[in-house]
Amino acid sequence: MTFAFDNTYARLPAQFHAATTPTHVRTPRVVKINRALAEVLGLDADLLASAEGAALLSGNALPEGAEPIALAYAGHQFGNFVPQLGDGRAILLGEIVGKDGKRRDLQLKGAGRTRFSRGGDGRAALGPVLREYLVSEAMFALGVPTTRALAAVTTGEHVAREEMLPGAVLTRVAASHIRVGTFEFFAARGDDEALSTLATYALTRHYPDAIGSGNDPRALLERVIDAQANLVARWLGVGFVHGVMNTDNTSISGETIDYGPCAFLDVYDPKKRFSSIDHGGRYAFANQPRIAHWNVTRLAEALLTRLSTDEEEAIGIATQCLEKFPAIFDAAYARVLRAKLGLATAEDSGDAALTADLFGRMAGNDVDYTLFFRRLCDAAQSPEKDAEAASLFTEPAAFRDWAESWRNRLLREPERSAADRAAAMRLSNPAFIPRNHRVEELIVAAAEREDFAPFEALLSVVTRPYEEHPDLAHLATPPKPEERVKATFCGT
């Protein structure tokens, strides 16, 4: 099979990467091919699903033109700087320019040890591979910038975690794999030449229209700040908790990357964290904007010597750029929330008070986040449906009081039929998200019984999340108290 590779990152200087051949696996078997994505990439999905495809997608064989490399990067993990991380279990095969003209990385995650593996085995278990496949494709369908999944294959081998688990390889597709941590890697080494090369490369690849302002590193910093502020606003809109917002998991392209212990809110709780290793709640739901700001601050630091030759001036530029983060985030988040509430116009302070009031009431009432907003669409269509939204609150009156202010606000909107408003709201309030208890269930079915039917069922609804799927309606309902997933674990 021909992959139309054009590998620009592999042509960057030697300190950017390490040539790495994937390690052979015993019996690769394709469990899922993303046909729509294969089509965009100009790849033959039938071939990918064949034995030849299984060999390529597991790393047992290399497609022509692949130049497999592991990427060097550093990163702040839970606030602590680690000067060398790098792809310890991911191998970049190369880049493909798709039919849509977009350049994308093709990476095998779980393809064996690399120069950056440290103590790790270079492998991935089936559970986390299916989780990443499902959640990244759900995020894509929700309109959130994200890396995507082209394929999942099992390896026929076991990986040793707390227990022995079936091994798997995910083919991840990304705008690129350049992270804030990639800049930190070179900054920590005082490699100014590499920093300049990387800044130019990243700006050219991701923000070409920003080239030529006279200060390319500044333009890059501004664009990444903008992309991250907008990204996190989208996360909050769908109730997503990333779980490990380390700077090595913060993409320069503004895509969501590295689905480890990620999860979606069931009941609304701003302090919610799922990750078993996030003891202090650093990466809790409502803390994510603050952390994104912190992460882009690390990018600014790494770029400091590139912003100006004069240190004081460089700090001034960085500060100016970083100060804009809160306002960019607030504006992006306000847009997200207006769409969720069915507002086509903005009344800045009034709308902020309206949403703050709602979230205050939701937090105290054990309200399922996704289901509430979906029912609010019905309430927008007909006040008779208010009871169904109200019934999600332990104290239904808490909803009714708020609904009165919401309806008063709707009166100040331009003329629009209730049905039209509800239809618009249904495109911003999904019926289906990858609910944690369902994700856990499908992982058990796949890993313990080789039953992929639950995976396929959930994938089919979360990739069309705004539609009703009456035959799979049970996948939209919140967990019963005893079904609630309390903790998620890293994909390692």
Closest CA to 75 of 238, 211, 245: 245
59 binds ligand AMP (CB under 6 A): no
Least CB distance to Mg ion at residue 89 (A): 10
| Torsion angle defined by CA atoms of residues 157, 158, 160 and 165, in that order, rounded to the nearest 10 degrees | 150
85 binds ligand AMP (CB under 6 A): yes
Q: How far apart are CA 58 and CA 47, in angstroms?
A: 14
368 binds ligand AMP (CB under 6 A): no
Token representation of residue 111:
């393809």
Find tokens 């095969």 and name the residue.
93
Least CB distance to ligand AMP at residue 124 (A): 7
**Of 27-35, 155-163, 248-256, 468-476: span binding Mg ion (CB under 5 A):** 248-256
User: What is the widest separation between alpha-carbon atoms in the chain?
Assistant: 66
Least CB distance to ligand AMP at residue 27 (A): 20
Calculate the alpha carbon distances from 356 to 230, 350, 362 in Å: 19, 10, 10
**Of 45-53, 112-120, 208-216, 362-370: span binding ligand AMP (CB under 6 A):** 112-120
Given the residues 87, 105, 216, 248, select the one marked as catalytic: 248
* Cβ distance to Mg ion smaller for residue 154 or 249: 249
86 binds ligand AMP (CB under 6 A): yes
What is the per-residue binding string for ligand AMP in 231-270, x denoting contact by CB under 6 A?
A: -------------x---xx--------x-x----------
| Sole binder of ligand AMP in the list 196, 204, 215, 492 (CB under 6 A) | 492
Q: Is there a catalytic annotation at residue 248?
A: yes
In the list ligand AMP, Mg ion, none, the entry touching 89 (Cβ below 5 to 8 angstroms by class) is: ligand AMP
Calculate the alpha carbon distances from 20 to 10, 14, 285, 300 in Å: 11, 13, 37, 31
**Of 116-124, 145-153, 398-406, 452-460: span binding ligand AMP (CB under 6 A):** 116-124
258 binds Mg ion (CB under 5 A): yes
132 binds Mg ion (CB under 5 A): no
123 binds ligand AMP (CB under 6 A): yes
Least CB distance to ligand AMP at residue 123 (A): 5
Using the CB atoms, write b or e for 270-296: b if 16+ within 10 Å.
eebbbbebbeeebbbbebbbbbbbbbb
Count Cα neighbours of 358 within 13 Å in the Cβ-side half-sphere. 22
Least CB distance to Mg ion at residue 87 (A): 9
| Sole binder of ligand AMP in the list 65, 67, 121, 378 (CB under 6 A) | 121
Q: How far apart are CA 326 and CA 291, in angstroms?
A: 11
**Of 118-126, 187-195, 231-239, 448-456: span binding ligand AMP (CB under 6 A):** 118-126
Q: How far apart are CA 358 and CA 398, in angstroms?
A: 9
Count residues near Mg ion (CB under 5 A).
2
Sign of CA dihedral 380, 384, 385, 390: positive
- Please list every residue from 284 through 343 that binds ligand AMP, using CB under 6 A: none
In the list Mg ion, ligand AMP, none, the entry touching 86 (Cβ below 5 to 8 angstroms by class) is: ligand AMP
Residue number with the smallest Cβ distance to Mg ion: 258
* Alpha carbon 215 to chain centroid, angstroms: 29
DSSP string covering 148-214, please?
EEEEEEEEEEEEESSSEEEEEEEEEEES---BHHHHHHHHHTT-HHHHHHHHHHHHHHH-GGGTTSS
Coil, helix or strand at residue 457: helix
249 binds Mg ion (CB under 5 A): yes
**94 membership: H or E segment, kind and range:** strand 90-97
**Of 61-69, 84-92, 185-193, 331-339: span binding ligand AMP (CB under 6 A):** 84-92
- Report yes or no: 74 and 82 within 8 Å, Cβ to Cβ: yes
Rule CB under 6 A: which residues touch ligand AMP?
85-89, 116-117, 120-123, 244, 248-249, 258, 260, 490-492
Q: Which residues are known to be catalytic?
A: 248
Rule CB under 5 A: which residues touch Mg ion?
249, 258
